[in-house]
Amino acid sequence: MFTDLDLANMKVTNRKVIILTCTNGYDWKCPHSSQWNLTSRSYGCSDQNIYICLFDASESIGLKVVFTGKCGPLDLSREGFRYILTPDLNQVPCTASRYQPFTFTTNGNSQCVLSKSVCNASGQILANNGSSSTDISCRCDYRRNYDYIIPPKNPCSCKPAEEDCSCYIRKCEDDKVMIAGKYLCDVCTHAILALLINFKMLLALSLVYTFG
């Protein structure tokens, strides 16, 4: 049931849902998958010509986002892709915030199935944006002394949908820092290099005084 505000922000005509604003668009753009069969019967669709509800690029202009529901073919797309109407069925990659690691079907789906994770917990930073068929990966920010609570399989690329990527601040000794990729406290390589340079300079000066 729509509220007065919902009705004010949308108009239903010829079985098209026209969203005039972006507010809560994903809440009511197409029927829930559990209501797909019921909607299909109300449209009079058959097994060969099922109910589909997809983003309609030919009707969407500017901020007006249109999803069209109609009887159409059961079709499958490859991983990382979805179908839209242009007005014919056309395969396009998933949007940047979603991904599809398996075959997309027009039966019961209007967008790529999975939402991408976010790396916004304390100490987390983005490691990889993923792709239209894979989720993003995160890592703990070693530059601020963050380490994993539970070490992942790959410390440079933790998968938040499969692993616990939680971080905590690890305290190192005064003369040590976190080492990239290893997440271990060790003497800073820059400090070691500086000591070597100073040693070579002192050695050169001693040679000058000795043989000069």
pLDDT tens readout for residues 66-93: 888 888 888 888 999 999 988 888 899 9
Across-strand partners of 65? 19
Please give the residue that has the higher pLDDT: either 9 or 126: 126
* 137-163 pLDDT tens trace: 999 998 888 999 999 998 889 999 999
Q: Are 20 and 10 in contact (CB under 8 A)?
A: yes
Q: How confident is the model at residue 199 (pLDDT cuts 50, 70, 90)?
A: low
Q: What percent of the chain has pLDDT over 70?
A: 69
Q: How many CB atoms are located within 10 Å of the residue 79 CB?
A: 16
Contact 117, 96 (CB under 8 A): no
Q: Which of 66-70, 106-110, 120-124, 195-199 has the lowest mean pLDDT?
A: 195-199
For the chain, the first-to-last Cα distance in angstroms comes to 95
Look at residue 2 and tell me whether its pLDDT is greater than 60: no
Would you say 57 and 85 are in contact if contact means Cβ atoms under 8 Å apart? yes
- What is the spatial distance between Cα 161 and Cα 95, in angstroms, rounded to a whole number? 18
pLDDT confidence of residue 12: 39
Nearest to 148, CA basis, from 140, 138, 158, 160? 140
pLDDT interval class at 21 (50, 70, 90) = very low
